[in-house]
Amino acid sequence: MSTLLDAQAEAGGHLAVSAGPAGPAVTDEPPEPPRLSWPQVLRRFWPLTAGRRLAMAGALLCFTLAVVADAIGIELLSTLIDGAVENADLDQFWHPAAIWAVVTLAAAALTYAGSVLTASASERFSRRLRAHTHDHLLTVAPEELDRRALGDVLSRVVDDTEDVEHLTVSGAVSTAGSALAVVIFGIAAWRQSWMLALVVLAAAPCVWLLNRWLTGRTHAVSMRTRVAHGALTSTLEQSFTNAALVQAYNGRPAERRRLAAVSGRLMRARLRQTRLAAVQGPLTELVETAGLLAVIGIGVINIATGDLTVGGLLAFTAYLTFLYPPITALGQLGLVASSSGTSAARLVELLDLEPAVREARSLVVHDREITAGPAGIAIEGVTVRSPGRPDRLHDVSLRIPAGALAMVTGPSGAGKSTLVELLVRFRDPDAGRIRLGGRDLRDRPLGELRNEVTLLPQEPFMFDETVRDNITYGVPEDPGTGPISLATRDSGAAEFLDRLPDGLATQVGQRGRALSGGQRQRIALARALLREGSVLVLDEPTTGLDPQAAQNLIGTLRLLTARGRTVVLVTHDLGLTRYADQVIEMRAGRVHRLTVSPDAPAHPLDRPGTQQLKAG
Ligand SMILES: Nc1ncnc2c1ncn2[C@@H]1O[C@H](COP(=O)(O)OP(=O)(O)OP(=O)(O)O)[C@@H](O)[C@H]1O
Ligand SMILES: [Mg+2]
């Protein structure tokens, strides 16, 4: 499996079927959503069936043999009626009866095997598709994912993948099975009486047309259900993630109204769907009964003329009952294909999101000279655009020497986070370039770059795991107690860890909500400090820290720079800038002022006084 996914990643990470924009539109009459045709879905997702195709073919073979066994059973029924029953002769009963029993048993075993094989192929396909989607979404720019309603993304990854599975694996097998069943029963019926077979086959297009007619109506409704379902999960997600705000600001009535509105949409769509389904059953039954009556009527005439036996007629009615389910299934094909095709388009829209950054096409051979050791940062004419808004960064040029402590300050929205996030390539600049240790970031393998540069994001992200798991996240091997203690001490986490019920083994809860904001901040800081690599980028690490803890942190960072690591620290705390080797003051996406210290303080805690900074 990994080979296939790797191959796809190399090919650009996704196959090329574009589905146009989609999103969680919350209107009652959504615009016609994009939809992929069945061949498009197959073209796109067939590669993911690799390794499962034998199981699919095996399942199809089992189902086909089961149909043959059923057809033989029907022939035996006719033999029994015309022999044993007609002549009231028990001697003519045992032999066909025994064969029928064996054939029925074989059909049951084959059906069982076919179902198991299909399920095995389809479940494995689903698992692979989910993993593939999950993996792909984690290459997309974090802010691209943030822009989407999480509930909608989840419903696509969880539900829409199932529909794609159906079109690609289980539905494909059962459709091929149905088509073969129609052919096999049709041939068997033809052998009994071509005239009756014609009657039976004349009914088939009626059943098929009826189901096709219903398909068009059902598609729109099923789409409405899908969209309403997505809107419902999104609304619930918003409500629950903002529960504290909702309660504190008396937002429950408003939330209730919002939920009632989307719930109402889902209810109406579901009711419409049910009404259509309720019409479909009886209508199909009507057509089937008409076909049955026609067969019996013509059969009676044929029996009178001696062209048909009673057993033959009974066999025909049996063929009819066996034929209609596959014909109905084929008739509903359009319906299934259209609603699942919409799901496929929704999924493809996610899979077509471009990865935020691409691995370098031709990687320079690993150059120890450049990648190891101290790393200076050169930012050269970097611009980051934002459609319809002023540039987030505009022609920014900077040099941060290896082993320096650089601080980035400036008002909110000045572009500080945008700037530092470029260092781990959450995205690439629209113009200009960034070099680390002399090498363009885009020329380095992403994994290597992110080992080299550690970012502490402005928001302290937490997994619902223990404190220890959160601190060691992203460290490939268990670092052991020593480094963890150091990291917790330097981040100021140690002082509250002792007071937690289970210390490092304490669960932090969803998004770390079992901790205070400052505690989360310190754990995130410990996580960043634990990582090795030559560049440490901290986006507002001192937000939740008291002045003493902030000073201690600077002391720690100074130790790191003394060992040759480069530290970039974003801060609003102007009191800290006196410890910096370089202060970069950002305003409106530009470097407003750059102040460089004539000589870096050896250790800020050793020299707590003032270190005069000089404009440069
Ligand atoms: N995901 C985004 N999409 C579009 N524009 C964005 C996005 N995130 C931030 N911006 C814009 O980019 C500009 C710079 O934002 P940035 O987060 O870099 O500011 P900042 O200096 O870190 O502010 P703060 O001190 O509040 O953290 C702002 O005008 C902001 O509105
Ligand atoms: Mg910021």
Q: How many CB atoms lie within 10 A of CB 133?
A: 20
One-character DSSP codes across 165-200: HIIIIIHHHHHHHHHHHHHHHHHHHHHH-HHHHHHH
**What is the 461 CA–ligand 1 centroid distance (Å)?**
18
**Angle between the 53-80 and 171-192 helix axes, to the nearest 10 degrees?**
30
Q: How does residue 374 score in pLDDT terms, banded at 50, 70 and 90?
A: low
Give the per-residue pLDDT at 533: 86
Q: What is the mean pLDDT of residues 340-347?
A: 89
Between 392 and 205, the higher pLDDT residue: 392
> What is the C-alpha separation between 333 and 181, in angstroms, rounded?
15
Q: What is the mean pLDDT of residues 322-332?
A: 83
Whether the predicted pLDDT of 102 surpasses 90: yes
Q: How does residue 292 score in pLDDT terms, banded at 50, 70 and 90?
A: confident
Ligand number nearest CA of 586 is: 1
Give the per-residue pLDDT at 331: 77
- Helix ranges (H only) for 352-457 are 368-371, 416-422, 446-452
Q: How many CB atoms lie within 10 A of CB 212?
A: 16
**What is the 397 CA–ligand 2 centroid distance (Å)?**
19
Q: What is the mean pLDDT of residues 306-334?
A: 84
**What is the 184 CA–ligand 1 centroid distance (Å)?**
66
Q: Is 24 in the pocket of ligand 1 (CB under 6 A)?
A: no
Q: How far is CA 414 from CA 378, 379, 381, 417, in A?
A: 20, 17, 17, 8
Give the per-residue pLDDT at 258: 94
pTM for the full model? 0.80
Is residue 582 within 8 Å of 597, Cβ to Cβ?
yes
Q: How many CB atoms lie within 10 A of CB 167?
A: 24
169, burial (CB in 10 Å: exposed 0-12, middle 13-18, buried 19+): buried
Is residue 322 within 8 Å of 70, Cβ to Cβ?
yes
- Helix ranges (H only) for 352-500 are 368-371, 416-422, 446-452, 467-471, 481-491, 494-497
- Atom 14 (ligand 1): residue with closest C-alpha? 415
> What is the C-alpha separation between 17 and 164, in angstroms, rounded?
14
Q: What is the mean pLDDT of residues 25-45?
A: 74
Give the per-residue pLDDT at 260: 96
> What is the C-alpha separation between 82 and 596, in angstroms, rounded?
106
Q: What is the pLDDT of residues 145-192, one digit of tens each?
A: 888 888 888 889 998 999 999 999 999 999 999 999 999 988 888 887
Ligand number nearest CA of 410 is: 1
| Candidate of 144, 148, 417, 419 to mutate for ligand 1, largest count of ligand atoms within 8 Å of Cβ | 417
Q: Is 413 in the pocket of ligand 1 (CB under 6 A)?
A: yes
Q: How does residue 198 score in pLDDT terms, banded at 50, 70 and 90?
A: confident
> What is the C-alpha separation between 600 and 605, in angstroms, rounded?
13
Q: How does residue 543 score in pLDDT terms, banded at 50, 70 and 90?
A: confident
Give the per-residue pLDDT at 362: 56
- Atom 30 (ligand 1): residue with closest C-alpha? 413
Ligand number nearest CA of 412 is: 1
Q: What is the mean pLDDT of residues 289-305?
A: 87
Between 212 and 21, the higher pLDDT residue: 212
Whether the predicted pLDDT of 105 surpasses 60: yes
Give the per-residue pLDDT at 367: 44
Q: What is the CA radius of gyration of the chain?
A: 34
Whether the predicted pLDDT of 571 surpasses 70: yes
Return the structure tokens found at 70: 């059923």
In residues, how long is the chain?
616
Q: Is 415 in the pocket of ligand 1 (CB under 6 A)?
A: yes
> What is the C-alpha separation between 254 and 555, in angstroms, rounded?
49
- Atom 16 (ligand 1): residue with closest C-alpha? 415
Q: How does residue 32 score in pLDDT terms, banded at 50, 70 and 90?
A: low
Q: Is 457 in the pocket of ligand 1 (CB under 6 A)?
A: no
**What is the 496 CA–ligand 2 centroid distance (Å)?**
26
> What is the C-alpha separation between 245 and 239, in angstroms, rounded?
9
Poorest-pLDDT segment among 252-256, 466-470, 550-554, 594-598: 594-598
Give me the chain's average pLDDT, please. 84
Q: What is the mean pLDDT of residues 361-384?
A: 65
Whether the predicted pLDDT of 137 surpasses 80: yes
Whether the predicted pLDDT of 569 surpasses 90: yes
> What is the C-alpha separation between 163 and 339, in angstroms, rounded?
8
Q: How does residue 31 score in pLDDT terms, banded at 50, 70 and 90?
A: low
Q: Is 215 in the pocket of ligand 1 (CB under 6 A)?
A: no
**What is the 236 CA–ligand 2 centroid distance (Å)?**
28
Between 268 and 320, the higher pLDDT residue: 268
In the three-class reduction of DSSP (H, G, I as helix; E, B as strand; rest coil), residue 431 is classed as strand
Q: How many CB atoms lie within 10 A of CB 429?
A: 23
> How far is C-alpha 308 from the geometric centre of its chain's CA atoms?
59
Give the per-residue pLDDT at 590: 94
Q: What is the mean pLDDT of residues 335-350?
A: 86
Whether the predicted pLDDT of 132 surpasses 90: yes
Q: What is the mean pLDDT of residues 107-136?
A: 96
Q: What is the mean pLDDT of residues 367-385?
A: 70
Q: Is 417 in the pocket of ligand 1 (CB under 6 A)?
A: yes
**What is the 460 CA–ligand 2 centroid distance (Å)?**
12
Q: Is 458 in the pocket of ligand 1 (CB under 6 A)?
A: yes
Q: What is the pLDDT of residues 475-528, one digit of tens each?
A: 878 888 889 998 998 888 888 888 888 888 999 988 888 888 888 989 999 999
CA end-to-end span of the chain, whole Å? Answer: 56
- Name the percent of the chain lying above pLDDT 70: 89
Ligand number nearest CA of 422 is: 1
**What is the 512 CA–ligand 2 centroid distance (Å)?**
20
One-character DSSP codes across 58-94: HHHHHHHHHHHHHHHHHHHHHHHIIIIIHHT-THHHH
| Candidate of 146, 382, 418, 420 to mutate for ligand 1, largest count of ligand atoms within 8 Å of Cβ | 418
- Atom 27 (ligand 1): residue with closest C-alpha? 412
Whether the predicted pLDDT of 17 surpasses 50: no
525 Cβ contact partners less than 8 Å away, ≥ 6 residues apart: 456, 491, 492, 493, 538, 541, 553
Whether the predicted pLDDT of 456 surpasses 60: yes
16 Cβ contact partners less than 8 Å away, ≥ 6 residues apart: none
- Atom 10 (ligand 1): residue with closest C-alpha? 392
In the three-class reduction of DSSP (H, G, I as helix; E, B as strand; rest coil), residue 138 is classed as coil
Side-chain half-sphere exposure of 116, counting CA atoms within 13 A: 6
One-character DSSP codes across 460-479: ----SSBHHHHHTTT-SS--
Return the structure tokens found at 542: 């001192």
Give the per-residue pLDDT at 60: 96
Q: What is the pLDDT of residues 405-450, one digit of tens each?
A: 999 999 999 999 999 999 999 999 999 999 998 889 998 888 889 9
Q: What is the pLDDT of residues 56-76, one digit of tens each?
A: 999 999 999 999 999 999 888
- Name the percent of the chain lying above pLDDT 90: 39
- Atom 2 (ligand 1): residue with closest C-alpha? 143
Q: How far is CA 434 from CA 257, 396, 406, 588, in A?
A: 49, 10, 16, 20
Give the per-residue pLDDT at 361: 63
Poorest-pLDDT segment among 145-154, 199-208, 600-609: 600-609
Ligand number nearest CA of 141 is: 1
Whether the predicted pLDDT of 304 surpasses 80: yes
